[in-house]
């Protein structure tokens, strides 16, 4: 049975609250739970998060084995393999909630802003492929007054990049569009604060949830 997106979202919010308050259940990682999952999984949410070592999705949402289908890539960018992974999980496991989870002080976003401002050429082609995916979300910020306030610019850029990923997932796949229209799939953007441990959901929510 698919857990409706709104319910999954509430469970993630509760889990994050436990994490912040240091009352994590830490349940769901027992050997018994592992055995239960041998024959299948029904993850309650798909998370497209950043690879940053400080933002492990299962820990910050206090979830266990089999609860989250997690895709991690620097800068939580959307490339075809990320879309394919989300399609796979949404179609195979009936998971109805997708969360793009960015975070404050993201190094991939910082590197992109730096590259846009200094045109550094010493990047590897592979690293550049990440920067290239972030750039469309953030380059217009460089033409605003935020130029003079680098910390504020980074904050805005992190959010702009999360919004872009939500948008790309929402409109970049016929399979996902169909699941949104017919099965109640929800794709939302969220930002994890390294400073507080809190996850703020801020994009793609139905009005009652904001």
* Binding footprint of Zn ion on the chain (CB under 5 A): 50, 52, 106
Q: Least distance in Å: CB of 101 to Zn ion?
A: 10
CB of 55 to Zn ion, least distance (A): 7
CB crowding 40-52: b at 16 or more within 10 Å, else e: eeebbbbbbbbeb
DSSP one-letter string for 104-160? TT-HHHHHHHHHHHH------HHHHHHHHHHHHHHGGGGGSGGGG-HHHHHHHHHHH
The residue (of 11 and 73) whose beta carbon lies closer to Zn ion is: 73
Q: Tell me the closest approach of the beta carbon of residue 109 to Zn ion, in angstroms.
A: 7
Give the residue with the Cβ less far from Zn ion, 109 or 180.
109
* CA gap 47, 199 in Å, rounded: 13
Please state the closest distance from residue 37 (CB atom) to Zn ion, in A. 29
Return the beta strands (E) in the chain as ranges. Answer: 45-49, 68-72, 97-103, 186-192, 199-203
Give min distance, CB of 56 to Zn ion, in A: 12
Q: Among residues 52 and 203, whose Cβ is nearest to Zn ion? A: 52
Identity of the residue, 50 or 137, whose beta carbon is nearer to Zn ion in the bound complex: 50
Q: What is the C-alpha to C-alpha distance for residues 40 and 205, in angstroms, rounded to an integer?
A: 29
Pick 154 or 186: Cβ nearer Zn ion? 154
What minimum distance in Å lies between the beta carbon of 107 and Zn ion? 5
Distances (CA, A) of 73 to 23, 84, 172: 28, 14, 18
Q: To 10 degrees, what angle do helices 107-118 and 150-171 make? A: 110
Return the number of the residue (52 or 67) whose C-beta is nearest Zn ion: 52
């Amino acid at each position: 049975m698919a857990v409706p997106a709104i319910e999954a979202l509430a469970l993630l919010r509760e889990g994050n609250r436990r994490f912040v308050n240091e009352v994590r259940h830490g349940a769901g990682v027992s050997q018994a739970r592992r055995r239960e999952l041998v024959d299948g999984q029904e993850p309650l949410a798909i998370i497209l998060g950043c690879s940053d070592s400080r933002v492990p999705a299962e820990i910050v949402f206090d979830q266990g084995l089999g609860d989250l289908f997690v895709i991690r890539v620097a800068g939580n960018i959307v490339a075809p393999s990320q879309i394919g992974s989300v399609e796979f999980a949404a179609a195979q496991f009936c998971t109805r909630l997708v969360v793009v989870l960015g975070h404050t002080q993201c190094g991939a976003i910082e590197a992109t802003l730096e590259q846009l401002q200094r045109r550094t050429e010493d990047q590897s082609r592979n690293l550049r492929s990440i920067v290239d995916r972030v750039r469309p979300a953030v380059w217009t910020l460089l033409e605003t007054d935020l130029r003079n306030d680098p910390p504020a610019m980074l904050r805005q850029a992190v959010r702009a990049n999360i919004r872009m990923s939500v948008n790309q997932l929402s409109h970049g796949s016929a399979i996902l569009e169909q699941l949104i229209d017919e099965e109640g799939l929800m794709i939302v953007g969220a930002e994890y604060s390294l400073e507080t441990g809190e996850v703020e959901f801020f994009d793609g929510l139905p009005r009652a949830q904001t």
